[in-house]
Amino acid sequence: MADTAKNKLKEILKNISLALLSAFVVILVTIIFPITPIQKLELELLDKRFEERGEIKIDSPKVVIVEISQESFDQIPPPNNEWPWPRNLFAKLINNLSNAGAKAIGIDIIMSDTDRLSTANDSLMTDAIIRSGKVVVAGKIDIEREALIQKLKSGGSDFRNFKEGTLYTEYEEGFRSIKQNFDNIFFEADSSIGIVQIEGDDDGIKRRYHPYNLFSLNDSESVKIPSFSFAVLNKYFNRDFNYAAVSEEDDFIYSQKKIPKFTGATLLINYYGGFKAFPYFKFYEVIDDSTFTSNDEIEYESGVDEWEIYKEEGTFKDKIVLIGSTMPEDKDIFPVSFSKGKSGDNMIPGVEIHATVIQNVLDDNFLYKQSPASEIVSIIAISLLMFFIVAFLKKIKFRFSYLLEITVLLLVIISIYGLYKLSVYFFINKNMVISVTAPSLAIIFGYITSTVYNYLSERRQNVLIKGMFSQYVNKSVVNELINNPDKLKLGGEKKMLTVLFSDIAGFTTFAERKPPEELVSFINEFLHEMTEIIIRHEGTLDKYLGDAVMAFWGAPIPVEEHAYKACVTSLEMQNKLAELRDKWSKTGEHQIRIRIGINSGEVIVGNIGGSKRFDYTVLGDDVNLASRLEGANKEYGSNIMISDATYELVRDKVLVRDLDVIRVKGKSEPTNVYELISTAGDQKAIAAIDEMHEYFQGLELYRLKSFDSAHDYFKRCYEKLGDFPSKVYKERCEYYLQNPPDKDWDGVFELKSK
- pLDDT tens string 279-312: 999 999 999 888 888 888 777 766 667 788 888 8
**Crossing angle for the helix pair 119-132 and 87-99, nearest 10 degrees?**
20
Name, of 350-354, 591-595, 726-730, the range with top average pLDDT: 350-354
- For residue 163, what pLDDT is reported? 39
Cα–Cα distance for residue pair 571/593, rounded to 1 Å: 13
In the predicted model, is pLDDT for residue 7 greater than 70? no
Cα–Cα distance for residue pair 662/578, rounded to 1 Å: 29
Cα–Cα distance for residue pair 61/51, rounded to 1 Å: 21
Helix, strand, coil percentages, rounded to 5, for the chain: 50, 20, 35
- For residue 456, what pLDDT is reported? 61
pLDDT in tens, 738-750: 988 888 888 888 8
Mean pLDDT (whole number) for 338-347: 74
- For residue 491, what pLDDT is reported? 58
Biggest alpha carbon distance in the chain? 118
pLDDT grade, residue 544 (50/70/90)?
confident
- For residue 155, what pLDDT is reported? 43
- For residue 144, what pLDDT is reported? 53
**CA angle, 333 then 595 then 677, to 5°:** 150
Which secondary structure element, helix H or strand E, spans residue 549, and what is its range? strand 548-553
Cα–Cα distance for residue pair 410/443, rounded to 1 Å: 12
- For residue 306, what pLDDT is reported? 77
Q: Does residue 524 or residue 221 have the better pLDDT?
A: 524
Within 192-326, where are the H helices?
228-236, 283-286, 295-300, 306-313
Range with lowest mean pLDDT among 97-111, 146-160, 384-398: 146-160
Q: Is 429 exposed, middle or buried (0-12, 13-18, 19+ CB in 10 A)?
A: exposed
pLDDT in tens, 113-154: 899 999 999 999 999 999 999 999 998 876 555 554 554 444
- The answer to whether the predicted template modeling score (pTM) of the entire model surpasses 0.75 is no
- For residue 156, what pLDDT is reported? 42
pLDDT grade, residue 321 (50/70/90)?
very high
Buried b (16+ CB within 10 A) or exposed e, 478-493: eeeeeeeeeeeeeebe
pLDDT grade, residue 264 (50/70/90)?
confident
Cα–Cα distance for residue pair 84/679, rounded to 1 Å: 43
Residues 6+ apart with CB under 8 A from 312: none
Mean pLDDT (whole number) for 89-103: 94
Name, of 295-304, 443-452, 458-467, 677-686, the range with top average pLDDT: 677-686
pLDDT grade, residue 17 (50/70/90)?
confident
> Residue 741, SS3?
coil
pLDDT grade, residue 2 (50/70/90)?
low
DSSP classification of residue 506: T
The answer to whether the beta carbons of residues 26 and 383 sit under 8 Å apart is yes
pLDDT grade, residue 353 (50/70/90)?
very high
In the predicted model, is pLDDT for residue 459 greater than 70? no
> Residue 279, SS3?
coil
- For residue 475, what pLDDT is reported? 30
From its phi and psi, is residue 109 left (phi > 0), alpha (psi between -120 and 50) or beta? Answer: beta
The answer to whether the beta carbons of residues 745 and 657 sit under 8 Å apart is no
In the predicted model, is pLDDT for residue 164 greater than 60? no
- For residue 345, what pLDDT is reported? 78
DSSP classification of residue 265: T
Q: What number of CA atoms fall less than 13 Å from residue 147's CA on the CB side?
A: 8
Neighbours of 569 (CB within 10 A): 25
Which CA distances in Å does 691 have to 83, 685, 721, 723? 45, 10, 8, 11
Residues 6+ apart with CB under 8 A from 541: 531, 534, 535, 549, 550, 551
The answer to whether the beta carbons of residues 117 and 177 sit under 8 Å apart is no
> Which long-range contacts does 539-545 make (Cβ < 8 Å, 24+ apart)?
539/500, 539/565, 539/566, 539/569, 540/616, 542/616, 542/617, 542/618, 543/615, 543/617, 544/344, 545/328, 545/329
Residues 6+ apart with CB under 8 A from 51: 338, 339, 340, 341
Q: Does residue 525 or residue 473 have the better pLDDT?
A: 525
Name, of 384-393, 445-454, 614-623, 639-648, the range with top average pLDDT: 639-648
Q: Does residue 582 or residue 130 have the better pLDDT?
A: 130
pLDDT grade, residue 49 (50/70/90)?
very high
In the predicted model, what is the mean pLDDT of the chain?
82
Compute CA 403 distance to the chain's CA centroid, rounded to the nearest angstrom: 47
Beta bridge partners of 644: none
